Structure 1
Amino acid sequence: MTRSQGLGASALLATLFCSTAVWADITPEEVWQNWTGLAESFGQTVTTIATERQGDTLVVSGIAFAQENHGVTTSISIDEVRLRDMGDGRVEVTMSETVPFKAEGAPEGGKPVNMNATITQTGMSVIASGASDDATYEYSAPALALMMQATGDTENAPIDISVTMAGATGIYHVVGDTSRTGESSFNAQSVAYSFSGQDPANATGFKFDGTVEGLSGTGEFNLPAGVDMENLSAALQAGLRMAGSYGYTSGAGQSTIEGPEGGGFSYTGGAGTLRFAMSSEGLSYGGDAGELSMSMQMAQFPVPVDVKLGQSAFDMKMPVTPGETAQPFGLVVKLVDLEVSEMLWGMFDPGQQLPRDPATLIVDVSGDGTLGVDIFDPAQAETLADQPPGTLNSVSINEVRVSAVGAELTGSGAATFNNDGPMPVPNGAVDLRLVGANALMQKLVAMGLLPEDQMMGAQMMLGLFAVPDGEDALASKIEFKDDGTIFANGQQIK
């Protein structure tokens, strides 16, 4: 029996499905030794009942991975792994079709976790080639499935989760012996998923089913030697880097909710992408999606809600490493061409006084700042509620656009900040333009949704900060001076 010490659930799964390719060595024994060595570097506990040679195949049986992390114990069991010498410098790795997975415990300050799962694969094969310090492997998995039941605590009814993947193939290339860099790519025909739960106490339940078609993705990483993955901040400063990009061609789903407040919805969507990157230079996450159609009917709402969206996007970038050097940040949110059904419009505007133009929201902001808190240190992260995480050096409003019911607000601008005083002092300007506001307010008054005196007050307020810029159009230039004064269209307002 062999032993090494334990890490986290993600590392266990990564070792299970990826590490054989990392160690594409000449003999099955060397491949297995490198697999357990990689597990040890992640801090896992690995035990085996037997390891024996059967002709050209090394058979390892009774394998168990275990780890405890912040009060939660995770374990994975594999009945058998077979490593066959193909006689040409390559090794084929296959394993048991069923792999149990379990996690239970109570993290400090969190709710108890109780999860039981089974990973099932049919015909999965990994072909490892090359050398231990420059390895390539190709894998194919005609069918993969995950069946899981999870509860947050003993008072909650369990949630059943199933995920199946069909036609998965990929390639993985890793260079290095102690420090490692790697690249990967994969494709899958489809993924189907289902979530369901029942609460007998109040006779309610839910079910959500969906599919994603045409998956593809690429990834890369840099793993320096000797990094402690539990200390993510130190690992990033040592050179840890991870990045990935994933896409799909279409998706669809439907949900039902039982009970007096139940209902259901369904959706179909076009192609989309997801992106992720993390290094000492920052954390970024984002994605975009094409057309989306959704229909929803709730028991306590009188009409169906049908929504269409032409395009959506989200991108976030933020620094993660504390220091005295300014680091970039950014945020992009896009909801383009949002439309709702005429039946829903009719509830609020039966006289059709408001334009039915598609609505759009775009916010694109970037800048740089100095991070003073290690956000991956739980003790330091707790202080974020009491103090800013750092100082803001500059902000650029690249684009702001809000358009709906015949009115549109657009804007852009930039400012730098002086942080020598008790409060940051901006120095810069923002240009804003509002079109269609007066026509919209008049229609709201005619519909009885806006009192006339409030409309007049809003018009007076706009007159203080904006100047005419065309038919039913107002423009405003707000300037911030480094002495703390603020001007609107050349008139000092502070």
Structure 2
Amino acid sequence: MKQWNGTSAVALTALLLGSTATRADITANEVWQGMSDYYADLGQQVETGSMQTTGDTLVITDAVFASETPEGKFSATIPEIRLRELGDGRVEVTMSEEIPVQVLTKPETGETVDMGMKVTHSGLSMIVSGDMADTAYDITAPEMAFIIDGMKVDGADVPLQVNATLTGNTGSYRMLTGTSREVTSDMSADKVDFEVGATDPKGNGTFSASGSLTGLSGTSFAVIPEGVDMTDMNAALQAGMNMKGEFTYSGGGYVMDFQDKEESFSAQSTGEGGKLHFEMSKDGLSYGGEGQNSDISMQASAFPLPIDLSVAETAFNLSLPVSKGDEAQPFGLLLKFVDLGVSEGIWSMFDPSSQLPRDPATLIVDVTGAAKLLINIFDPAEAESIADQPPGELEKIDINQLQLSVAGAELSGKGAMTFDNSMGMPKPLGALDLQLIGGNTLIDKLVAMGFVPADQAAGAKMMMGLFAIPTGEDTLTSKIEFKEDGGIYANGQRIQ
């Protein structure tokens, strides 16, 4: 649909619900004009039923924010908005406690989804200060809620209920308007509680989930160039649009349950906090998150025992270029699970005699590099034009950290390679250093437990002997080199 994406949705919620600008006088009419212009620049149509000034207050009824494209449409209707001039150069904005929202998506292929939502609040107050060029919106809202109550998929009713309630909300929103718009925001909430319920339309199953997060806070920044078509993401990025944000929470948890005629599944989880972040501009896209000290318990009808997991740290981050260019641009991937533990009951199923160490497992993959893009990723026409070709050329890759530790064995490594793309297929040049500690001991224990046949274990040890050299007690190291002659070498011996 017409770019009613994260930018528009977050902006409408923040501005209509919510830094300090330079002190200046602003009028109620200027506040409304600034808000209307902003959404018009985002590709929204803003219409009102009536506008009337009574004393110091501008009253707007039936304000509709809408967009429509061949792929769908969106509309949010605010029955009443009141903008009251406080007499000190500031304006207080209040509005109806219930705001209905309608979303329709009708893609060229796939199912049409028609969903009704509503935003509710109690005690919301937004104080606007500054001037038309530098406007600040400071908000408080003791409670806000986002509710979905049913939807239709290809015209058929799908029972769905979603309710998210935020309490103790405060925040600010600052907009600088010139040749482009710069929008800065920050928010916090004491807690968010959520509930989800869904039923298979054919009556074959139900799903429910509920949970909460505490200590929420977030910041964001966006630059929106003047006159840009927000339905064309590539054009917007190339014109200078960029956005970034970070969201944190101090703790939380959830429970979920699934039931159908034959199977069931339930789970519950708690965690001590985490963070989500994103950034996007013509220079690249980056998003990821991390969590601390999470515990998960699961029970499935198809499995005889409960499954209890704990993990001390999790992290994920992906960054990649989005714009074509003559020079290589950076990319990266981070994947981290630190001290992943499994309940004793699960261990006992596979290792009742405790032959394997119960040490928590760890997996860390940290890779960075550079690649030259041949297309603009967000341009569908360019992507289609080279559908049968790689979208770019890999120029270098650095393996900053590779670590896998499980059942008393640990594999670690690091390395760096560059790539010659002149021959069509990229030819690597560089080296990878690997170390394996406890590998032979683990293989012997797996043989003793009956998980690995003795002949296969012997073959695995022989292969390790070909590619690695012993450097200590049950310690093997290997240096894999990719050389100019196109050969691959292990510890100086050519293997390809």
Q: Which residue of 1 aligns with 2:9?
A: 13
Distance 1:449 1:384 in 2: 47
Q: Which residue of 2 aligns with 1:123?
A: 123
Q: Which amino acid aligns with 1:248?
A: Y
Distance 2:357 2:387 in 1: 43
Q: Which amino acid aligns with 1:16?
A: L
Q: Which residue of 1 aligns with 2:358?
A: 356
Deviations 1:342-400 (A, max 9, x none): 11111111111111110000000001110112221233345676321100110000000
Q: Which residue of 1 aligns with 2:404?
A: 402
Distance 2:286 2:241 in 1: 15
Q: Which residue of 2 aligns with 1:322?
A: 324
Distance verdict in 2 for CA 1:156–1:296, change over 3 Å: farther
Give how far 1:401 is off. Answer: 0.2
Question: Is 2:294 the partner of 1:298?
Answer: no
Do the aligned partners of 1:105 and 1:112 also contact (CA within 8 Å) in 2?
yes
Q: Which amino acid aligns with 2:397?
A: V
Question: Is 2:473 the partner of 1:471?
Answer: yes
Distance verdict in 2 for CA 1:105–1:319, change over 3 Å: closer
Aligned-pair Cα RMSD in Å: 1.9
Give matches, 1:237-316, under 5 Å.
237-259=238-260, 260-316=262-318
Q: Which amino acid aligns with 2:478?
A: S
Do the aligned partners of 2:124 and 2:141 also contact (CA within 8 Å) in 1?
yes
Question: Is 2:86 the partner of 1:106?
Answer: no
Distance 1:201 1:17 in 2: 35
TM-score normalised by L of structure 2: 0.95
Deviations 1:274-307 (A, max 9, x none): 1111111111111111000011111111000000
Distance 1:70 1:435 in 2: 59
Distance 1:25 1:374 in 2: 44
Distance 2:197 2:300 in 1: 18
Distance 1:272 1:105 in 2: 32
Distance verdict in 2 for CA 1:438–1:29, change over 3 Å: same
Deviations 1:7-46 (A, max 9, x none): 5265653453344669996211121122222222222222
Gaps of 5+ in 1: 1-5
Q: Which residue of 2 aligns with 1:388?
A: 390
Give how far 1:415 is off. Answer: 0.5
Distance verdict in 2 for CA 1:15–1:279, change over 3 Å: closer
Q: Secondary structure at the match of 2:461?
A: helix
Q: Which amino acid aligns with 2:106?
A: A
Q: Which amino acid aligns with 1:449?
A: F
Give how far 1:203 is off. Answer: 3.6
Question: Is 2:186 the partner of 1:185?
Answer: yes
Do the aligned partners of 1:63 and 1:77 also contact (CA within 8 Å) in 2?
yes
Q: Which residue of 2 aligns with 1:33?
A: 33
Q: Secondary structure at the match of 1:469?
A: strand
Q: Which residue of 2 aligns with 1:3?
A: none
Give how far 1:483 is off. Answer: 2.5
Q: Secondary structure at the match of 2:310?
A: strand
Distance verdict in 2 for CA 1:25–1:425, change over 3 Å: farther
Distance 2:190 2:173 in 1: 19
Q: Which amino acid aligns with 1:182?
A: V
Distance verdict in 2 for CA 1:19–1:49, change over 3 Å: same
Deviations 1:134-154 (A, max 9, x none): 122210111100110335444
Deviations 1:428-462 (A, max 9, x none): 00000011111111111111111111011111111
Distance 1:111 1:9 in 2: 19
Which deviates more, 468-477 or 229-238? 229-238
Distance 1:183 1:104 in 2: 29
Q: Which amino acid aligns with 1:471?
A: E
Do the aligned partners of 2:159 and 2:201 also contact (CA within 8 Å) in 1?
no
Deviations 1:124-183 (A, max 9, x none): 111010111112221011110011033544467332111110011011222223412232
Q: Which amino acid aligns with 2:60?
A: V
Distance 2:461 2:106 in 1: 57
Distance 1:312 1:285 in 2: 14
Distance 1:202 1:50 in 2: 46
Q: Which residue of 2 aligns with 1:365?
A: 367
Do the aligned partners of 1:418 and 1:482 also contact (CA within 8 Å) in 2?
no
Q: Which amino acid aligns with 1:223?
A: I
Q: Secondary structure at the match of 1:352?
A: coil
Question: Is 2:74 the partner of 1:74?
Answer: yes
Distance verdict in 2 for CA 1:410–1:9, change over 3 Å: closer
Q: Which amino acid aligns with 1:215?
A: L
Distance 1:124 1:266 in 2: 33
Structure 1 runs, 4 residues or longer, greater than 4 Å off: 9-12, 19-25, 382-385
Q: Secondary structure at the match of 2:158?
A: coil
Q: Which amino acid aligns with 1:328?
A: P
TM-score normalised by L of structure 1: 0.95
Do the aligned partners of 1:15 and 1:35 also contact (CA within 8 Å) in 2?
no
Distance verdict in 2 for CA 1:429–1:70, change over 3 Å: farther
Q: Which amino acid aligns with 1:482?
A: E
Give how far 1:474 is off. Answer: 0.7
Q: Secondary structure at the match of 2:334?
A: strand
Number of aligned residue pairs: give it. 489
Do the aligned partners of 1:247 and 1:271 also contact (CA within 8 Å) in 2?
yes
Distance 1:331 1:479 in 2: 23
Do the aligned partners of 1:151 and 1:159 also contact (CA within 8 Å) in 2?
no
Gaps of 5+ in 2: none
Do the aligned partners of 1:25 and 1:91 also contact (CA within 8 Å) in 2?
no
Give how far 1:63 is off. Answer: 1.5
Do the aligned partners of 2:253 and 2:269 also contact (CA within 8 Å) in 1?
yes
Do the aligned partners of 1:132 and 1:177 also contact (CA within 8 Å) in 2?
no
Q: Which amino acid aligns with 1:102?
A: Q
Q: Secondary structure at the match of 1:107?
A: coil
